[in-house]
Structure 1
Amino acid sequence: MSHISQIYDIDLKLLRCFCTIVEERSFTAAQAALNLSQSTLSENLKSLEIRLGTRLCRRGPKGFKLFREGEVVYKAAKELFASVEAFKQKASNINQNTVYELSIGIQDGIVENPSARLHDAIRRFSDYYPNVRFRMEVMLGFQLAGRVADGMLHVGIGLVNEHYAQLSYEHLFDEQGFMCCGHRHPLFAIPEEELTLEDIESAAYCSRGHLEYYHPERARRPDTCGDIGLGIQSQLALILSGRNIGYVLDHTAQPLIASGALRALRPDRVRIVNPITAMMGPAAADFKLARQFVDCLIDVHMELGQSRLLPRPDYVTSCGTVVDRDGVFRVLSTAKAPAFAGA
């Protein structure tokens, strides 16, 4: 690689484009994420490669491949961005009368959940710190923890499917979902008293891709592995098509069930419960405003009392179904959750 004696703003822009291409694993997905045309994105990558004096990745009909040089640049760029963000956070503690920016990432499907009190937390925080500007983004769950760990987000709010030692977690509330099928699916017409757990477990199952850390083994079995919906709305579209069954969050499913477009399959016996948490990385922990916002989140959700928590199943069977002491079959996140206060 060529020796770079000075880094300019344009270099940072080019590096951010390159990092997005690597993280999305394709030019098409990176175009959508950056809202850039293919020609502009290609020109940015070409300019960066010329600036560095080496090719970073392969793109074209054979697909995307990151070269060794690209891996080195990607890692160095992420470290650079994390250092810049850490500087901004530490500098922002100097004078509270300055306008600062707080970056928040929220997993899709959470904002509209009636148990989520995000709007109350934002209002309360704003009363304390009126000069803070929010930068909020709704994203897929599997993107959240990585962005927080890299220092690109001050706070992430969502489902925890893997725990990282460098992140801190605070339980906010539980979300609940039921196994559902669309009105075109064969199970839709089976009377409730005739529908068995075996019928449900043998049907093709629509997973949420990278969030399948907590789903049953049916998402990995060839006979029941159905489509993959990256994001709640994508998964819902596949379920409504009649191709698969899958878990749909309660607040999303209710109006569709009422309209006849969706059916909950044995809701008396099959459901899923996920803890929703606020997470911070090591850099954000030193950023007083990030900690204060998380405290506001905790406070407004704790005011809900035990209504924010749902009953916890006791153990998991070999097929991924969970059985309570009362004999009710449920499914719970199998991700190792921390011992949350009050949970």
Structure 2
Amino acid sequence: MSLDKYFKRKSLEDEESIKASSHVTQSSSKKSHIEINSDTLLADPGLRRPIYEYHINDRDAIRRAYLQKGPCQPSHYDFPQKQFGNISTLRCFNPAWFGAYPTWLEYSIAKDAAFCLYCYLFKLKGGVDSFTVKSQSDYRTRLNASIECARFLLHQGLPFRGHDECECSSNQGNYLELLHFLSRNNEAIKRVTFSEAPKHNKLTSPDIQKDITQAAAEEITNVIIKDLGESLFSILIDESRDISIKEQMAVVIRYVDNNGHIIERFLGIQHVSDTTASSLKAAIEALFSKHGLSISRLRGQGYDGASNMREA
């Protein structure tokens, strides 16, 4: 039975044309791929070609090569120091951060800036997608709620932690209970906290509470130093042991502000090896250096417990 009436027979010229076009398609497809050599890929994140500029068929290979190569972490580089804000102390990139974030943190020598390897490999052209934008917005709302709880507790001088902070506890402590209160009375906060937040990003752990408290302490200290300005001041020092039986020195500065009021502000706590005069002097000098204070402006010193002021 002949199939000519069902299928049109192709001529020899048609068959040659199909073969030629197929060969061109295969050749162009092969040309779209490039040979990936991890040794030739630019290591410096500030000089790399954006991942979206590579051909779409080559991007996964580029990503695998960079993941195998690892983040750019020049630990033996002499990182330049810069001054930030009104603090006279110079700061620079800390190579110890490479140990804390070994899989993704990068540093660009060309740009003197830190980068994220994963952000480079998976960031979309023209910015981030709507899901990422929403995640960032949710995180900002969750972080602001956590900061507000910490600010209230710090202002009132209340403890953060509770005796039993498990989910079945009737009293999880001031920080968590206050965050629960905010979530019950604010729908925007309720949608992004506790069970609605990612398991790794709830911002309720003790470490997060300590980080927020430390950040608040640094901001408050900066305000005190700024208010002090170039004025003369005195220091009041008391020595005591903390709960771990380590010697520590609490420092309070006393000065007159621009309105003529006598101000006393807690400056910080310094751990000391012992309470000899030489140890206290070294701790005071270290604290002054940290906050950019000059000992030449010191006009008075007060110590509680004269028995501790003995020779080294």
TM-score, with length taken from structure 1: 0.26
* More RCO (CA 8 Å, sep 6+): 1
